[in-house]
Amino acid sequence: MTISKQIIAQMPKIELHCHLDGSISLETIHKLAKMENIPLPATLEEQQALFIAPEETKDLNEYLEKFHFIGRLLQTTAALELAAFDVVKQASYDNVKYIEVRFAPTLHTMKGLTLQEIVSAVVKGLKRGEVEFGVLSNALLCGMRHEPVENAIEVAKVAKSQLTHGVVGFDLAGNEVDFPPYAFEEAIKVAKDLDIPLTLHAGECHCGKNVYDAVVLGANRIGHGIALKDTPEYIEYIKENEIVLELAPTSNFQTKTVTSWEEYPFKKFLDLGLKVTINTDNRTVSNTTLNKEYAKLAEVYDLTLKDFYKVSCNGVFGAFVDDEVKKELGEIVNEEFEKLNGH
């Protein structure tokens, strides 16, 4: 019997892969547009077409086009703080206990903000949301693959300067096909030399070797990693190194990483003992919530509470926080799942 949506809503969740600019609620988009004096189309349908990807998206690049309009709204410290606060608020509706919100500071410099000002504004919003909604929240900084390697190096250095101030790691995001991990080897090395935890987007585009290469270069976690299903020769290496995989089902279908549930590897990876987690990726662009993602997987694979408990534990394991915080999160997860088991 499929786990009910009511039980799913009560599950304690850890979200490790959520993009700020892809996850802002419609209500807050309206506020931001007003603040920035940027007109929105008249109808809701036209508005949503600007920033929600259709279910039948052609590929990753078409999916990424939906970020352009939102990017224009996020060019001031007030806008960035409000957006970050909004994402934490949404996470609280999914009973998320810990969230890492990622963003690329270089995409928010159109009006002259410095990278430090951008990061400070986002962290301020996350911490305000943490206090108000009780969701422990941190930031991950992304280098963008379509930008020069020097930009990613600069972002890594900013991440290091903020590591004890709400920033917990570094990522590379964007066009993985044309810019595989080794194209950014220099930036990744800088991040590793600075002791910055790394989660790199890889394996989102039928390129399983990118997952392996990202880990060889130093990634602690992998954003998506779906293409591992086509390169089984790397699976044992990923498992042995306890690499956490950040899966996002709706997004993975939209970007054509997979086209059917038969080929989606979530349950296979879970059964093999890989450390899989469930994430939204982009709440707004993918028109989803974490509860929806859990419900979808529960229905397709007839998952048990034990399966979801494992997913939450994997999230705690992969979180870029110290051992003391992990212990606290682990205790919360154990306690809340024990209550659900008692139902």
Could you list the residues known to form a binding site for substrate, using ranges. Answer: 19, 21, 174
**Regarding beta strands 167-173 and 221-224, do their DSSP bridges make them parallel or antiparallel, or are they unpaired?**
unpaired
The number of beta carbons lying within 10 Å of the beta carbon of residue 116 is 12
Cα 72 to Cα 40, 51, 167, 182, 211: the distances in Å are 12, 12, 23, 31, 32
Q: Among the options 100, 130, 204, 246, which is catalytic?
A: 204
Alpha helices in the chain (DSSP H): 5-10, 26-35, 44-51, 60-64, 67-73, 77-93, 115-133, 149-161, 185-193, 208-217, 235-240, 249-254, 266-272, 290-301, 305-318, 323-341
Which candidate, 97, 111, 23, 113, places its Cα nearest to that of 67?
Answer: 23
Which candidate, 253, 337, 240, 343, places its Cα nearest to that of 300?
Answer: 253
Binding residues: 17, 19, 21, 174, 201, 281
**Chain-centre distance of CA 10, in angstroms?**
21
Which residues on neighbouring strands pair with residue 169, listed in sequence order? 140
Cα separation, 202 vs 211, in Å, equals 5
Cα separation, 232 vs 225, in Å, equals 12
Q: What would the two tokens of residue 251 be?
A: 């997004």
The number of beta carbons lying within 10 Å of the beta carbon of residue 147 is 16
Which candidate, 202, 205, 180, places its Cα nearest to that of 256?
Answer: 205
Which candidate, 280, 342, 273, places its Cα nearest to that of 313?
Answer: 273
Binding residues for Zn(2+): 17, 19, 201, 281
* Whether residue 204 lies in the annotated active site: yes
- How many CA atoms are closer than 13 Å to the CA of 92, on its beta-carbon side? 17
Asked if 130 and 139 touch (Cβ cutoff 8 Å), the reply is no
By annotation, the residues acting in catalysis are: 204
